[in-house]
Amino acid sequence: MGEDAVNDIKRVAVVVASTRPTRICPGISTWLQRELRSAHEASSPVGLVQYGSIDLAEVNLPFLDEPLIPALGQYQHEHTKAWSRTVSGYDGFVFVLPQYNWGYPAVLKNALDFLFEEWDDKPVTFATYGTHGGSMAAAQLQTVLAGLHMRELDDHLEIVITLDDLDRDWQVKDLEAVLAPYREHVRRIDRQLLDALTAAEAPITH
């Protein structure tokens, strides 16, 4: 592959946005990343999008502790500079998050609030999950992503995980079976990401 082709490759992060010690989020995120990769390999043999992952438990940010507002980009703490470099290294994002008490996890809001320009104008979508799919977490997150001037794709996932799907330790008994119905939807998301990442960049006016 030539240098130009390598420069054209877009990087998308699948973000694990639950940090609980017994979280089910990594399993769902790994499945999603794998399915996005295989959908992409099937539709774009030259591989225009590379799917990576970010685990907010590993990023391990404190609560927002920068003295200046993030929109100024004048970060004082090394953890913020490191987070800025990580986010700047990706062209698009797929957040994977549970619904908590009709909202989305505070750890994700905190990670979003730490930065500003780094999110600006980048394509984004997400997968929520909960006993009814997490639509209320989705609605809240959509508002914040618009506030950050991100480009939300047409499609996102709302994954239904009922109590019957869980074992006595609150882990998903058969993750493949629970997630299989969403496979076609993941293909659509890969195509929408590719379109958004390769589209001419029109300015956002809101």
DSSP code string of 69-81: -GGG----SHHHH
Return the range that interacts with ligand FMN (CB under 6 A); candidates 82-90, 130-138, 177-185, 198-206.
Answer: 130-138
**For ligand FMN, what does the binding mask look like between residues 158 and 197, x meaning CB under 6 A?**
------------x---------------------------
The two three-digit tokens of residue 14, written as one number: 């699948």
DSSP secondary structure letter of residue 44: -
Taking CB under 6 A as the rule, which mask of x and - marks residues 4-23 in contact with ligand FMN? --------------x-x--x
Which of these segments, 68-76, 109-117, 126-134, 142-150, binds ligand FMN (CB under 6 A)?
Answer: 126-134
Q: Which residue sits closest to ligand FMN, CB atoms considered?
A: 130
Q: Does 29 bind ligand FMN (CB under 6 A)?
A: no
Q: Are 7 and 48 in contact (CB under 8 A)?
A: no
Greatest alpha-carbon pair distance for the chain in Å reads: 52
**Binding residue for ligand FMN (CB under 6 A) from 29, 130, 182, 197?**
130
Distances 30 to 103, 105, 174 between C-alpha atoms, Å: 23, 19, 14
Question: CA 22 from chain center: how many Å?
Answer: 20
Planar angle of CA 4, 87, 114, nearest 5 degrees: 155
Find the shortest distance in angstroms from Cβ 40 to ligand FMN: 25
Does residue number 43 form part of the binding site for ligand FMN (CB under 6 A)?
Answer: no
Q: 167: part of which helix (H) or strand (E)?
A: none
Q: Is 60 in the site for ligand FMN (CB under 6 A)?
A: no
102 binds ligand FMN, rule: CB under 6 A? yes
The residue range among 73-81, 99-107, 140-148, 183-191 that interacts with ligand FMN, by the rule CB under 6 A, is 99-107
Contact status: 24 vs ligand FMN (CB under 6 A)? yes
Contacts of residue 148, defined as CB under 8 A and 6 or more positions apart, other chains included, come to 112, 116, 119, 120
SS3 of residue 104 by DSSP: coil
Interface positions with ligand FMN (CB under 6 A): 18, 20, 23-25, 98-102, 130-132, 170
